Amino acid sequence: MEARPSADSATEAQGFTPQYRTYVLVILTMVYTVNYVDRQILSILLQPIKDELLLTDTQLGFISGIAFAIFYATLGIPIAMLADRWNRRNVITIALTLFSGFTAACAGVTSFFQLAAMRVGVAVGEAGSSPPSHSMISDMYPPEKRGAALGVFSLGVNFGILIGFLIGGWVSQWFGWRAAFLVVGIPGLLMAFLVRFTVREPIRGHSEAMVDSGNAPGVFEVFRFLWGQRSFRHIAFGSALAAFVGYGAVVWLPAFLARSFELNQGVIGTSLALIIGISGGLGTYMGGWLGDRYGKKDIRWNLWIIAIIWFSVAPFNVALYLSGDPVWALGLFIVPAFAGAAYLAPILSMTQSLVTLRMRSVASAILLFILNIIGLGLGPQTVGFLSDALHPEFGEESLRYALLITSFVGLWGALHFVLGARTLKEDIERARVYGQV
């Protein structure tokens, strides 16, 4: 690769003015929001689905966790390989159409196996959404602004949960859980047209004033290089363990509040929507902003900040799950909600910096594979399994103690971020040199 005179001039030359760049970021954030609405709508609907289809917590954990995660994480890698070679906007458009369509189709299921099949369809579609978006954002924003941009993009997590819980809670209460799937699934099909006809593909590498060679390495070469980056191994496992706690909580909190405090679906959906949307959204953005701010002085702050946040949140998790009052429980949840996605922007930004230009989509897919197999796959499943195992002793309160036990995994994740910071500088330099060979 050779250096270009100016990344900004390259941006302007292809029509990516600051205003249009912001527009594309907003559109990609909206896609990610729809992605998360469709992914998390099941959480607020678990209890009414359990009651109608007569399912166990282990079955619900399987549908919301491992069944989704296996297809979502595994297919993300080949789709990311396609995105590193083909038009990323088109990949996102097709993915959006698929997961929105299957979400709407969940409205017609009548059994555990039908619901599992539809959720697998959602997972297949969502596998093609995030890695191409990460790659496009990295080509539009230079490294010193990338964390904040990815922080804005990551707000899709919080916006998606907010919308999913709010709409899912009230639509389910008024019209039933089947109507909720239709209400959140259909808008994504319309969104796909907006992406296809208003978003342009950015030139690869212009944000760093680099000329793209056009040669995309195979997935095994990307994996060998990325896995050789010691800091990445800690980033991947640290974020996977954080996701284990986060996904377990987000999926099962509505059922916990319904069983332990007998709150109705509308109140639960509204409460969690506001907390995760506002406090969680602030945490998501601040994670990227703090990483950019302090990372200018020392890049390792991107990981140190995450570790500090996750070590600090542990006492609040304990108090939350031992609380006997719903108001206190929801109030205490504000802090874990802030921490829940604060790691996203820094880890995405650092992963993009740890590889070369044509490795970026696959690198994101590898990160998401590890994060989702452990976090999304095992988190909700483990909580459901523990809840069933503890039920003979604790009855309806078994879910409370299952969530309490799994919350301590976050401390293990925080340790990985501390360890990953030790070699971050050398690993980023290694990627820069490798890209010039």
Q: What is the pLDDT of residues 417-433, one digit of tens each?
A: 999 999 999 998 888 88
Query: Rounded to an integer, what distance in angstroms lies between the CA atom of residue 322 and that of residue 218?
Result: 49
Cα dist. 79→27, 38, 118, 131, 195 in Å?
A: 20, 20, 20, 9, 18
Alpha carbon distance 114, 191 (integer Å): 26
Distance CA 41, CA 120 (A): 14
Q: Name the residue type at position 373.
A: I
Q: How far apart are CA 170 and CA 403, in angstroms?
A: 25
Please give the share of the chain, as a percent, with pLDDT higher than 70: 92
Token pair belonging to 27 = 């559109």
Q: How high does pLDDT run on average in the chain? A: 85
Per-residue tokens: 165: 């819980």
Per DSSP, what are the bridge partners of residue 380?
none
pLDDT of 341 reads 80
Rg from Cα positions in the chain: 21
Query: Which comes out higher in pLDDT, residue 360 or 350?
Result: 350
| Confidence tier at 205 by pLDDT (50, 70, 90) | low
Q: Tell me the C-alpha distance between 390 and 410, whole Å.
A: 21
405 has which bridge partners? Answer: none
> Average pLDDT of 115-125?
90
- How sure is the predictor about 1, in pLDDT bands with cuts at 50, 70 and 90? very low
| pLDDT value of position 207 | 52
Q: Residue type at 38? A: D
Compute φ and ψ for 213, nearest 5 degrees. -75, -20
Gap between the Cα atoms of 316 and 199, Å rounded: 42
Rounded Cα distance between 427 and 104, Å, is 44
Position 337 confidence tier, pLDDT thresholds 50, 70, 90: very high
What distance in Å separates the CA atoms of residue 72 and residue 242, rounded to the nearest whole number?
A: 18
Q: For residue 5, how many other CB atoms are within 10 A of its CB? A: 8
Residue 284 confidence (pLDDT) above 90? no
On the question of pLDDT at 39 being above 60, the answer is: yes
Q: Give the Cα separation of 377 and 245 in Å (integer).
A: 11
Give the tens place of pLDDT for each residue, 121-130.
998 888 888 8
